[in-house]
Amino acid sequence: MQKMTLYIVTTICALLVLVALLAPVLAPHDPEQGVLVDRLLPPAWVDGGSLDHVLGTDRLGRDVLSRLLYGARISLMVCALAILFSGLVGSALGIIAGYYGGWPDRLLMRLVDLALSFPIILLALLFGVIYGPGFANVVLVISLVLWSQYARMARAETLRLKSSEFVDLARSAGCSTPSILLRHVLPNIAGSLIVLATLQVGTVINLESALSFLGVGVPPPTPAWGSMVAEGRSYLFSAAWLAMVPGLAIVLTVMSVNVLGDSLAEHLNPKLRGGLKR
């Protein structure tokens, strides 16, 4: 049963990536252009629906399916950039602080405490007021929060490894500090960082959707799952599909990547095998 669940969530995640990459090919309509005479058409399986708009249309006559596909593209791009940027910065700072110790370590830990204590929604609202909503601002805000988790994990793993025999042997052989960090420390902590990145995909999707829902994320008319839910909340009783379709996409995607991340953690860390039950 567990293997079957893993196959299902892996398939869902693979389909999400494929759909995001091929959105311009798969989308039947332009996601930003609507036809007012076709506004609020129900899904094809409901009376009054049309196969030309399988998931219906929104209040401006835009195709919901097309917007959903392009919304996946936005979510994937935000995830990739935010996790890449925060992972590189946080891991580098964590490795340096853990290896050298002293005041760099103390300074990093205080910055990590500050980043973990700052509410991301408040930070996003502040950026939105000062600079306006935008794709770059969403990536920047999420990265400012996530880097601290990579820094803390990289520091802890580096503290564990810097007294290991192979690191001592590398020092005795005359290896430089950058060489030791890049060739001996980083490869041995990469597995933990990859697991953390996988587990954060669901977090980033939730954050991006929440920011778009509040109007400080990706600005319209660019389709984003969070803004689609926000637009559909006014039609919950007359056109429920406008909020339900992107909402289900968010739930299904986050659940799938979280299960996949847990499975990856079990695989890369034998101590966790059998410890995570679903």
Taking only the tens place, the pLDDT of each residue in 73-121 is: 888 888 889 999 999 999 999 998 888 888 888 888 888 888 878 777 7
Tell me the C-alpha distance between 14 and 52, whole Å. Answer: 26
How many independent structural domains does the chain possess?
Answer: 1
pLDDT digits (tens, 9 = 90+) for 212-252: 888 888 887 888 888 888 888 888 888 888 889 989 988 88
The domain spanning residue 258 has which CATH number?
Answer: 1.10.3720.10
Checking if the pLDDT of 276 tops 70, the result is no
Task: With respect to residue 60, please indicate whether it lies within any of the assigned structural domains.
Answer: no
Give this prediction's pTM. 0.82
Task: With respect to residue 160, please indicate whether it lies within any of the assigned structural domains.
Answer: yes
Task: With respect to residue 58, please indicate whether it lies within any of the assigned structural domains.
Answer: no
Task: With respect to residue 228, please indicate whether it lies within any of the assigned structural domains.
Answer: yes
Task: With respect to residue 181, please indicate whether it lies within any of the assigned structural domains.
Answer: yes
Residue 190: what are its φ and ψ, rounded to 5°?
-60, -35
Tell me the C-alpha distance between 245 and 46, whole Å. Answer: 14
pLDDT digits (tens, 9 = 90+) for 142-177: 888 888 889 988 988 888 888 778 877 877 777 787
Q: Flag the least confident range among 141-155, 200-214, 254-268.
A: 254-268
Instruction: Print the domain residue range for 255.
Output: 72-272
